[in-house]
Chains A and B, each alone.
Chain A
Amino acid sequence: MSEFLRILEYEVQIVALAFMGTVYILRLIWMFRFKAGKEITDPVGNPRVGIAYSMMNVAMPWAMESARKNWNFYAQFVIFHVGVVAAISATFIIPFWPGVFEIKALVRIFQLALGAAFAVGIIRLIRRITSPTMRLISTPDDYFSLVLMSSFFASGVFAVPNEYEVSEWPLIIFFIMTTFFLLYVPFSKISHYLYYPFTRYFLGKTMGHRGVFPRKRGGERPAGLEG
């Protein structure tokens, strides 16, 4: 392994990661500077149950009509985010636990996950470009983030075998992209995962308090009967 690649895999990544962590901490401080809403009514439901339900919503495609009616879109969402997990994991496995990718079956699984995520990225990009609705609501950041993610997945497909003795270029490209990611993500929509717990927490707390979450699908015992 060349010294350049070694530095790229280790020192550069650590510095970039520290930068992203710092920005995220600042972002959280920024969020917490806004006043929190306070609920002063008597509850009907349980806010904690509501929060848990809301947080787990992502894993319950039956809970939202938008997912029930668009199973294809939900499947894409799962594939895309499995790809995200695979790509991020690879950025740690390659420098810190290279032995993991000596297991060829695991390399194939990662490549499959990343390849599928790349395909979904392209499908989503086409959807964003061709649908008038998507075009109207899309910003340059939306397009760029999708292109960036898709490219990241594609570079990951070639990087995970970790065969630097054959060629270092797939790894150099993958880690340059990782570095860019770590620096760019906190300022882009890709950081939505940072906000997800907040938005779902607030919605779950309110809806749980009011007894709307968990959502009723029929047959529940009406309140007031005990009175």
Chain B
Amino acid sequence: MNEKSINISDVINLPLDTKEQKKAVDSKTPCVVDGRLKVYNPDEDNVKRLLELLKNKLSRQVVGSMVGCVHCGMCSDACHYALVRPYDPTMTPAYKADQIRHIFKRHFDWTGRLVPWWVHAGTPKDDEDLKRLKNIVFGTCTGCRRCTLNCPMGVDTAILVRLTRGLLTELGIVPEGVFVVSKDSWETGNQMGVTQEDYLETIQWMEEETQAELDDPHFKIPMDKEDCDFMYTINPREVKYDPRSIGNAGKIFYCAGESWTMPSWGWDQTNFGLFSGDDKLGGYIAKNLYEAAKRLRAKRIVISECGHGYRSTRWEGYNWAKYKQDLPSESVVVTLIRYINQGRIKVDPSRNPLPVTYHDSCNIARSGDLTEEPRWILKRVCADFREMYPNRSDNFCCTGGGGALSMVEYKPLRMEVARIKAEQLTATGAKIVCTSCHNCVDGLTDVIKHYKLDIKVAQILDLVADALIIPKKNEKK
């Protein structure tokens, strides 16, 4: 698995590409015109603007992480970038966080203001420095939070990286992919720019497919049905690239005799605001979903399998939107446990005979609360479940986290540091790696292709659907 390593200065000095920004300005894209999404303006004093924005974004929690680092270097042992490139000190999480910490110290900390050289406090000189900062925070960190949980001081490097991303997003100094996905999110309410028509057509198509599979023309994927037990929300990737996961969910809900619905608007449980650091975008997308559940008088929100989607919808979204949680929300994994536990669905593990391992999504295991639940299910729907090591909140990122999949310019580095994930996967001897995250599916698929591994990626819903014993028509209540 050895390969030529990337010259890091090629990554750090990648120029700012603004073709998509110019296109959006020329086509008078509404979110750009009304200023919700910022474009880069070289004539503006961007350094000054960054300092103003930083001042407004400082919270007690952020300041704690700004001042708490003792530069012990322990974080370098936790980061997949630093572990794969031990000869490259710029991969150390503390170094990455120091890029914003230096600015903070120069302008907000006593010692940094009085004797800046003593604590390496400083201000970016110009836009070129900001562009380098962009490459560090977007290109060399997936925000996986492994360093955070391994910091003796409890310094949250990932929130400093996200904060910096947010500041740069406000200046339009972002990778092209981040700009495009943010634009799509603002314009269509989902991060993949899926049109309403495509969404509804795909649901219809999956409804027909599942009707055929179940041999039941009465099977429905209910749309905008009021007063259901839950509203099911999905990742736009399911509509665009993996519609069978919608059909699988529908099939399981049908077998469980569930009362459920999907909303025609506010259905995207993913949230690019988490990756871009844009709390406004995060709040907008999350609020769409919360309002949809309210409008449909659903009793709870069920979130399909997605790591950052779960984190955003279940946790961060309420805070970004300043929306008091009025409904319980849960991952579909918890819903599935309930079905199996209550005997509402029957599963046969022999239908999944190949060895299966589980990859913990960072956003679920380190920033969420689900580590045992996926394993509980997999041990019941697979004949041969094997742990991956390290696992749970010690697991390594699929390397596609933090929006990395949308930033193609950093892919060579991402694939290089994916070696650690490839080695983890290989060591299990599994033929299927299961994950509870659509983003991780793509991240892991890239790893598997790049390192030529004989392993397939699946999600929990897929394996449950495969193991599902569909009751005969006269058995179904």
Contacts and interface: CB of A to CB of B under 8 A. Distances in A.
A13 B368 CA distance: 48
Given A69-B77, A139-B118, A217-B392, A199 B153 contact: yes
B334 to A, nearest CB: 4
B372 A222 contact: yes
Nearest to B311: A210
B412 interface: no
Given A65-B394, A136-B89, A199-B65, A189 B70 contact: yes
A97 interface: no
Given A132-B89, A142-B71, A203 B156 contact: yes
A54 B367 CA distance: 15
A222 B68 contact: no
A137 B394 CA distance: 24
Interface string B92-114: 10110010000000000011000
A198 interface: yes
Nearest to A73: B74
Given A189-B70, A221-B372, A133 B89 contact: yes
Contact of A187 (B58, B90, B111): B111
Contacts, number: 183
Contacts of B353: none
Contacts of B391: 218
Nearest to B315: A41
A42 B328 contact: yes
A45 interface: yes
A133 B92 contact: yes
Interface string A7-46: 0000000000000000000000001101111111110110
A106 interface: no
B111 A188 contact: yes
Contacts of A109: none
B393 interface: yes
Contact of B153 (A73, A139, A192, A204): A192
Interface in A34-66: 34-42, 44-45, 54, 57-58, 64-66
Contacts of B63: 31, 34
A32 B118 contact: no
Interface in A167-193: 187-189, 192
Interface in A134-151: 134-142
B380 to A, nearest CB: 11
Interface string A157-169: 0000000000000
Given A139-B71, A224-B373, A195 B89 contact: no
Given A40-B325, A187-B110, A210-B369, A198 B152 contact: no
Nearest to B156: A203
Contacts of B369: 44-45, 210-212, 223
B147 to A, nearest CB: 9
Contact of A65 (B318, B372, B390): B390
A196 B68 CA distance: 7
A70 B74 contact: yes
Contact of A215 (B325, B334, B393): B393
B337 A225 contact: yes
A99 interface: no
B153 A200 contact: yes
Contact of A136 (B67, B90, B368): B90
B350 interface: no
A35 B366 CA distance: 25
A176 to B, nearest CB: 21
B287 interface: no
A88 to B, nearest CB: 18
A45 B78 CA distance: 25
Contacts of B334: 222-224, 227
A74 B62 CA distance: 26
Interface in B341-356: 341
Contact of B68 (A36, A195, A219, A221): A195
A49 to B, nearest CB: 13
B60 A35 contact: yes
Contacts of B89: 132-133, 135-137
Contacts of B67: 195
A77 interface: yes
A136 B60 contact: no
B23 interface: no
B87 to A, nearest CB: 8
B60 A139 contact: no
6 contacts: A41-B319, A66-B77, A138-B71, A199-B154, A210-B315, A223-B334
A-B pairs with the 4 shortest C-beta distances?
A211-B369, A224-B334, A199-B154, A66-B150
Given A31-B60, A225-B337, 14 more contacts: A31-B64, A34-B60, A36-B60, A42-B328, A57-B154, A64-B149, A65-B77, A66-B74, A66-B150, A136-B95, A139-B118, A187-B110, A220-B371, A224-B338
